Amino acid sequence: MQNSATPTHCPYCALQCGMNLTPAADGTVEVTERADFPVNRGALCGKGRTAPAVLSSRVRLTSPLVRSAGALVPASWDEALDRIAEGLARTRAEHGPDAVGVFGGGGLTNEKAYALGKFARVVLGTSQIDYNGRFCMSSAAAAGTKAFGLDRGLPFPLADIPRTGCVILVGSNLAETMPPALRYLTELKDNGGTLIVVDPRRTRTAVQADLHLAPRPGTDLALALGLLHLVVAEGRTDEAYIRERTVGWEEARAAAMAHWPEYVERITGVSVPQLRRAVRMFCEPEAAMVLTARGPEQQSKGTDTVGAWINLCLATGRAGRPRSGYGCLTGQGNGQGGREHGQKADQLPGYRKLTDPAARRHVAGVWGVDPDSLPGPGRSAYELLDALGTDIRSLLLMGSNPVVSAPRAAHVEERVRSLDFLAVCDVVLSETAALADVVLPVTQWAEETGTMTSLEGRVLLRRRAIAPPEGVRSDLEVLHGLAARLGVEKGFPADPEEVFEELRRASAGGPADYSGITYRRLAEENGVFWPCPASPDAAGAAPGGPDARPGGPARDRAPATAAHPGTPRLFLDRFATEDGRARFVPVAHRAAAEEPDEEYPVLLTTGRVVAQYQSGAQTRRVDELNAAAPGPFVELHPRLAARLGAAEGDPVAVVSRRGRAVAPARITTAIRPDTVFMPFHWPGEGRANTLTNPALDPASRMPEFKACAVRLEAVRQ
């Protein structure tokens, strides 16, 4: 066993905090500070500190399971892989390739996401692949691409945040979702900058703000338009910037001017004086930023909402300039890289569009297949899940737990149960895995090497620190074994570095160009920001170059360094559009897909708590985290609680048009009287996503997690 410390990264959120792992003689793993990594500088939240607890065989899967007589029982790897291959092949033969679905996860490494997308399109021939990152930041991605021609969560490093003059943080509770990142806001204020937080709840992050704006859930679009109206009315636009670096201003300005302050106050509940103060705080410093997260994005109009905040940045000259810009705070560990390399329904590696003939030719050339053999775009995540058991008869699922995390979760669970065949690769027996016909135990973060791409667009090397338990294999080994059983003997190596070398070639020349990045370079540096093209004379610079030759281990073929330094800051000279100019996109406020009425008079919004992560499949198995956050709750204002007759801790039923959830009341003045909040980490009767609305944004296909109409009922004990 290795006894020295291995520098690596946390398995949870997109900060990808640096840490050191040291195996102990008793088989446990110790986490220690890694101060050299610039993002967290040694700091870790409780989830990061306790991450090794999930490595224990006491809580994780260590043997394949197959369903026999209605129960999951241990099986050999050969039996399990044979069953999966037979199930997928049978569905494909009887119903066609698009009757087989593939569902991935935003926590998969770049290598796994790449291989999974390739497996779906080359081995299965299906278009039906998407991933849970669709639920993360797809609206921000769509808006960023429209405006800037390129989507990278943060087009600048986190280190720039303390150096700006004002930050508007929209729909993010960093203190609970990414605690080590809160220091950037603290340093901002220490440097004389100001913080505006937009959130319907007075969260631990909002308490730090110089100004807290608490709009009704689902009205962030009106709020952004109201601020832009005031920017125009008060003469605070940057006319030279608009003229030199943008197009489309006249239409966007006209749309904003229809949202005068008093009108916006009626929609949002944010007072006109607060609106005016926010505009002053944002416009008076030389530099400023807007950062969005799931709050404005997880709406049926999320793309337009983010677009309105981008318009505010463009109108004031706050994009593509030093210490200024718009950025999205990606949530999942590899939410950024996970969608760049092919597991999203409409994309090919390198952030290429599946509908682009040139992109298809390039990637097909790397894969050694006919471009015409690649299927077109498939369904988005919720639409794919909704089609289970009807159009999609079998599903291969990796790294996701949609029975807890998807909107309208009871319906999704019903759809999963109706499948002819379900295979799940996971670390633990999640609620979704428990419904499978075959479950494969796969390696975890500390047991495998691979790359992740953080919310900054920084590609990182996550190193193997310990060996996995006997009986556990990596996802890459799973795809290798399945591909061979389905008739594709080559093209799916189990060595992650070999997969990354192919990914480099596939991404070369694309918007997310990784071709200048190598494992050796990542081992020597604290990450490399994409795009990072290879120099023309570097080995492996492009498809068909020396790196494309067959044979020999990838590590022998990789160049020691790449000439390109990476791109920490995008758009300083030009935007990624054909003419180099950013696009204003005119948008107008519209209501949420489901507004309160007489039967459902209250708004529900959902989110996270500091001690749990996503669907909780892993964190709910850690004693220390469960002690801090043992179960779901309903947060409601004292006035609402009084009308209901509920006291602190009383069970409260929250009912929507989709179902009913019950959890203890948590009474606080930190939330609006017309709104209730539930965290979404738990299954069972407290499952928040039983209630949420799957109404989809027309551009991003993001469901509306953040606003739906509910009623409350007292539960008599």
Shared domain for 398 and 515, answered yes or no, is: yes
State residue 603's pLDDT score: 98
Shared domain for 94 and 187, answered yes or no, is: no
State residue 26's pLDDT score: 84
State residue 553's pLDDT score: 29
CATH of the domain at 426: 3.40.50.740
State residue 131's pLDDT score: 96
pLDDT digits (tens, 9 = 90+) for 538-578: 433 333 332 322 222 233 233 444 479 999 999 999 999 99
In a domain, 156, yes or no: yes
State residue 36's pLDDT score: 93
Shared domain for 180 and 267, answered yes or no, is: yes
The domain boundary residue, chosen from 305, 329, 353:
329
Q: What is the mean pLDDT of residues 266-275?
A: 98
CA torsion sign for 235, 240, 241, 243 is positive
The domain boundary residue, chosen from 302, 329, 356:
329
In a domain, 80, yes or no: yes
State residue 459's pLDDT score: 98
In a domain, 454, yes or no: yes
> In angstroms, how far apart are the furthest CA atoms of the chain?
74
Q: Is the pTM of this model over 0.85?
A: yes
How many structural domains are present in the chain?
4
Shared domain for 34 and 114, answered yes or no, is: no
The domain boundary residue, chosen from 557, 573, 593:
557
- Which residues are CB-contacts of 93 (< 8 A; sequence separation ≥ 6)? none
- List beta partners, residue 710: 602
CATH of the domain at 40: 2.20.25.90
Shared domain for 128 and 247, answered yes or no, is: no
DSSP string, 101-167: EEEE-TTS-HHHHHHHHHIIIIII--S-EEEGGGGTSHHHHHHHHHHHS---S-SS-GGGGGGSSEE
Shared domain for 123 and 154, answered yes or no, is: no
In a domain, 322, yes or no: yes
CATH of the domain at 323: 3.40.228.10
Shared domain for 496 and 613, answered yes or no, is: no
Q: What is the mean pLDDT of residues 35-60?
A: 95
> What average pLDDT does the chain have?
94
Shared domain for 499 and 549, answered yes or no, is: yes
In a domain, 593, yes or no: no
pLDDT band with cut points at 50, 70 and 90 for residue 535: confident
In a domain, 525, yes or no: yes
Shared domain for 483 and 419, answered yes or no, is: yes
- Rounded (to 5) percent helix, strand, coil in the chain: 35, 20, 45
Task: Inform me whether the pLDDT recorded for 283 exceeds 90.
Answer: yes
Q: What is the mean pLDDT of residues 521-546?
A: 70
The range of the structural domain enclosing residue 25 comes to 6-55
Shared domain for 150 and 273, answered yes or no, is: yes
pLDDT digits (tens, 9 = 90+) for 646-684: 999 999 999 999 999 999 999 999 999 999 999 999 999
pLDDT digits (tens, 9 = 90+) for 170-220: 999 999 999 999 999 999 999 999 999 999 999 999 999 999 999 999 999
In a domain, 591, yes or no: no
Distance (Å, rounded) from C-alpha 652 to C-alpha 662? 6
Shared domain for 247 and 129, answered yes or no, is: no
Shared domain for 510 and 630, answered yes or no, is: no
pLDDT band with cut points at 50, 70 and 90 for residue 3: low
Distance (Å, rounded) from C-alpha 658 to C-alpha 409? 9
Percent with pLDDT over 90 in the chain: 93
In a domain, 589, yes or no: no
CATH of the domain at 688: 2.40.40.20
Token pair of 188 as six digits: 């901002």
* Secondary structure class of 624 (helix, strand, coil): helix
